[in-house]
Amino acid sequence: MEIRDTAAVISGAGSGIGRATALALASRGARIIVADINEAGGNETVDMIGAAGGIAVFRKVDVTHTEDLAAMLACSVEHFGQLDIVYNNAGIGGEDLFADDPGDWAKMIDINLTAVIDATRIAVRELRRLNRPGVVINTASMGGLLPMPGSPIYAATKAGVVNFTRSLAYLAPESRIRVNAICPSYTDTPLVRRSGDERVEAMKLQVGGILQPEDIAAGVVELVEDDSRAGAIMRVTVRGGRDFARDIRP
User: For the chain, how are helix, strand and coil distributed in percent, rounded to 5?
Assistant: 45, 20, 35
Q: How far is CA 189 from CA 43, 153, 166, 184, in A?
A: 18, 20, 26, 12
The answer to which of 46-60, 137-151, 214-228 has the lowest mean pLDDT is: 137-151
Q: What pairs with residue 136 in β-bridges?
A: 86, 179
Q: Which residues contact 192 (CB under 8 A, 6 or more apart)?
A: 93, 186, 200, 203, 210
Percentage with pLDDT > 70 across the chain: 92
Q: What is the pLDDT of residue 204?
A: 67
The answer to which of 56-70, 98-112, 175-189 has the lowest mean pLDDT is: 98-112
Residue 46 has pLDDT above 60, yes or no: yes
**In the Cβ-directed half-sphere of 53, how many Cα atoms lie within 13 Å?**
3
Residue 107 has pLDDT above 80, yes or no: yes
Q: Which amino acid is at 135?
A: V
Q: What is the pLDDT of residue 221?
A: 98
Q: Rounded distance, CA 87 to CA 137, Å? A: 5
Q: Which residues contact 164 (CB under 8 A, 6 or more apart)?
A: 113, 116, 117, 120, 138
Q: What is the pLDDT of residue 239?
A: 87
Q: Which residues contact 47 (CB under 8 A, 6 or more apart)?
A: none
User: Could you read off the pLDDT of 197-207 as tens digits, one per residue?
Assistant: 766 666 666 66
Tallying the residues shown for the chain, one arrives at 250
Split into its structural domains, the chain has a count of 1
Is residue 250 in a domain?
Answer: no
Is residue 105 in a domain?
Answer: yes
Is residue 120 in a domain?
Answer: yes
Q: What is the pLDDT of residue 189?
A: 79
Q: What is the pLDDT of residue 50?
A: 98
Q: Which amino acid is at 82?
A: Q
CATH number at residue 150: 3.40.50.720
pLDDT confidence bin for 195, thresholds 50/70/90: low
Is residue 249 in a domain?
Answer: no
Q: Rounded distance, CA 187 to CA 238, Å? A: 9
Q: What is the pLDDT of residue 224?
A: 98
Is residue 1 in a domain?
Answer: no
Q: Rounded distance, CA 159 to CA 129, Å? A: 30
Residue 192 has pLDDT above 80, yes or no: no
Q: Rounded distance, CA 233 to CA 152, Å? A: 20
Residue 184 has pLDDT above 80, yes or no: yes
Residue 213 has pLDDT above 90, yes or no: yes
Q: What is the mean pLDDT of residues 47-61?
A: 98
Q: What is the pLDDT of residue 249?
A: 57
Q: Which residues contact 158 (CB under 8 A, 6 or more apart)?
A: 112, 113, 140, 141, 143, 144, 183
Q: What is the pLDDT of residue 240?
A: 86
Range of the domain at 125: 7-244
Is residue 175 in a domain?
Answer: yes
Catalytic residues: 154
Is residue 2 in a domain?
Answer: no
Q: What is the mean pLDDT of residues 89-108?
A: 87
Q: What is the pLDDT of residue 186?
A: 82
Q: Which residues contact 205 (CB under 8 A, 6 or more apart)?
A: none
